[in-house]
Amino acid sequence: MSGTRARSPSAETPALAASRVPRSAVRGASRRALRLATGLASGSGTALVLALVLALSPALASALAPALELALGPALELALGPALVRGPLGAAHGAAVDGELAEDTRLPQETRQEPRSAQTNEPTGRGSESLPAAHTARAREALTRGLAYLARRQAELRDGSFPSDGAEFRVPVPVTALAALAFMADGSQPDRGPHGRAIAAAADYLCSQAELTPGSEIFGYIASDGDALSRMHGHGFATLALTQAYSMSPRSPRGERLARVITAAIERIQRSQGLEGGWMYEPRRVADHENSVTVVLVAALRGAHNVGFEVDRETIARAIDYVRRCQNENGSFRYGLAPKSPSTLALTAASLATLNAAGRYDTPEVERGMTHLWQALESDAAGVAHRVLYPHYERMYVAEALWHHRDPRLYERWMEREIEKLVTTQAADGSWDEPQFGACYATATNCLVLALPLGQLPFYQR
C-alpha cells in the first residue's frame, strides 16, 4: 500500500478527517534520518543507505518502506517514526501526506511529551506523544496506588493468584493474567523491579493451571477448576500474559517452563478454532462461535508470534476475516456473524484493537469502526451516555484501540477525561470496585489503561 495515497477530503469520515500525516512529519523523518546516519556509521550498511535516502528524499523512503520494513525492523521505525511505519504484517505503511493539517486541528507543541520509565522517569523511546504533564502526574499517582493494592492482595494468597473479594463470579485465571500484564506495563519484569516477585508468582500460578498431561483432549488448556465462566476467554488472557513475561526472561529456568506452556497453549487455541474462523468458550472445536472470545485469542496468538513462537498464519487470517465479517454497516461490531447478533461499544473497541494487532491500521473497516467508536465517545462527553455493561473491560479496549490509531489526538482527548474519572473513583486503598468480577479485576484493567502510555509492555507498544 503506497504511503502517498491521495484521498478526497469529502470521502473521509468525520472522526478521521484531520488524521493524515502532515508533510512536517516527513520533514521530521528527514531530520531523524540525518541523526540516524551519523549513529550507524559502524552498523548496518542497509540501514545507513535508508538513512541517507531519507535525508535526501523522504517521499522516496516512505514509498520504499513496505519493502524495507522486514529487513530493517526497529531501525526503520526509528528513522521514519511510528506514524509512518505500521505493524509486522506490512499493512498501511504510512497515511496520506498530500496535505497539511488544518491549523485549528493541530495540538500545541508544548503538550507533547515523550513517555517515561516507571522506575527512572527517563524517556523510554518506545511510545508516542503523551498527555500534558499535569494529567500524567495524576495518572502516575493513581497507577502507583493501584499496583500497590494488587501486590498487597496477591500476598494474601500463597499461590500467586488474587482474591475474588466475594464477587459474583470467581475468575482467577484472567484476573491473574490481567494483573501480571499491569505490573509488566509499569516496567517491572519477572523477579526484577518493584513488582518483579508479583509477576513471577502470577506467571507460576498461570503455568500451574495448564493441562499438560500427554494425550489429554484439552492439552494446553489454561483454566481453573472453580471457573465455569471465563474458560477460553481466560485462556487467551493467560497466554498473552505468559508471552509477555517470556519475552522479558526467555533464557531463565522460568522462561523454559513458560515456553513449554505457551507452545501447548498455542496448540490448544489453533485446534479449537471453529469452521467459521472464530472461537467459543469451550477448549475444543464446536459449531458455535463468539467475537468476544475470538478477539482475546487472536491477541494471544499475536503476542506469541511477536515474541518468536510459531503460529499458523492461516489460523490468524481466518480469525481476522471472522472479526471483519462481524461488523455492521454503521461500523460497530457484533458478537457473532448473525446480522441480528447484538453489538456493544466494548466489543467494537476490542475488535478494532484486534485488527490493529494484525497490522490492519488503515483499512475501510477500521475507519468505519473508529468513526462509530469516536462518535459514541463524544456523545458520552456531551451527556448522552450509552449503556455500559462492563465499564472496566470497555475502558481497557477503548484505550487500546485509540492508542494505536494513527491520530494520537483522539487518544489524548479521551484519556484526559478518563483520568479524571479514574482519579475521582479510586478508593482510598488504591482499588476500584467491581461487583461481578471483584476489585482486583477492576484495578488490574484500570492500571493497564493508566500504564499504556509508558510503552513498557511489548504487545501494547505503538
Check pLDDT > 70 for residue 354.
yes
pLDDT for 31 equals 38
For the chain, the farthest-separated pair of C-alpha atoms sits apart, in whole angstroms, at 64
Cell numbers that stand for 9 in this block: 477530503
Question: Does residue 64 or residue 140 have the better pLDDT?
Answer: 140
Least confident of 23-37, 78-92, 304-318: 78-92
Check pLDDT > 70 for residue 433.
yes
Check pLDDT > 70 for residue 42.
no
Most confident of 41-45, 70-74, 191-195: 191-195
Question: Does residue 459 or residue 317 have the better pLDDT?
Answer: 317
Our CA angle for 79, 115, 300, nearest 5°, is: 85
Q: Could you tell me which residues come within 8 angstroms of residue 154 by beta carbon, excluding any fewer than 6 positions away?
A: 160, 161, 162, 179, 198, 201, 202
Q: Could you tell me which residues come within 8 angstroms of residue 284 by beta carbon, excluding any fewer than 6 positions away?
A: 217, 218, 271, 272
pLDDT for 105 equals 24
* Domains, the chain, with CATH or none: 9-96 (no CATH), 133-460 (1.50.10.20)
Distance (Å, whole) CA 122 – CA 255: 28
Question: Does residue 8 or residue 312 have the better pLDDT?
Answer: 312
pLDDT for 131 equals 66
Q: Quick: pLDDT tens for 411-428.
A: 999 999 999 999 999 999
pLDDT for 389 equals 79
Question: Does residue 29 or residue 352 have the better pLDDT?
Answer: 352
What does the pLDDT average to over 245-255? 91
DSSP one-letter string for 99-127: SPPPGGGPPPGGG----B-TTT--B-SSS
Check pLDDT > 80 for residue 330.
yes
Candidates 242, 243, 233, 303; CA nearest to 272 is 233
* Helix/strand/coil percent split, the chain, to 5: 55, 5, 40
Q: What whole-number percentage of the chain has pLDDT above 70?
A: 71
pLDDT for 106 equals 25
Question: Does residue 24 or residue 340 have the better pLDDT?
Answer: 340
CB of 173 within 8 A of CB of 182? Answer: no
pLDDT for 381 equals 78
Distance (Å, whole) CA 316 – CA 309: 14
Q: Quick: pLDDT tens for 90-147.
A: 222 222 222 222 222 222 222 223 333 334 334 343 343 456 777 789 999 999 999 9
Cell numbers that stand for 423 in this block: 482519579
Torsion, CA 157, CA 391, CA 349, CA 198, rounded to 10: -20
Cell numbers that stand for 440 in this block: 482486583
Distance (Å, whole) CA 411 – CA 128: 11
Distance (Å, whole) CA 453 – CA 450: 7
Instruction: State the pLDDT confidence band at 315, using cuts at 50, 70 and 90.
Output: very high
Cell numbers that stand for 412 in this block: 489524548
Question: Does residue 390 or residue 214 have the better pLDDT?
Answer: 214
Cell numbers that stand for 297 in this block: 485469542
pLDDT for 395 equals 97
Distance (Å, whole) CA 142 – CA 139: 5
Question: Does residue 169 or residue 75 have the better pLDDT?
Answer: 169
pLDDT for 156 equals 96
Distance (Å, whole) CA 443 – CA 150: 7
Candidates 150, 156, 140, 174; CA nearest to 443 is 150
pLDDT for 382 equals 76
pLDDT for 22 equals 37
Within 13 Å and on the Cβ side, how many CA atoms surround 357?
30
Q: Quick: pLDDT tens for 272-302.
A: 999 999 999 999 999 999 999 999 999 999 9
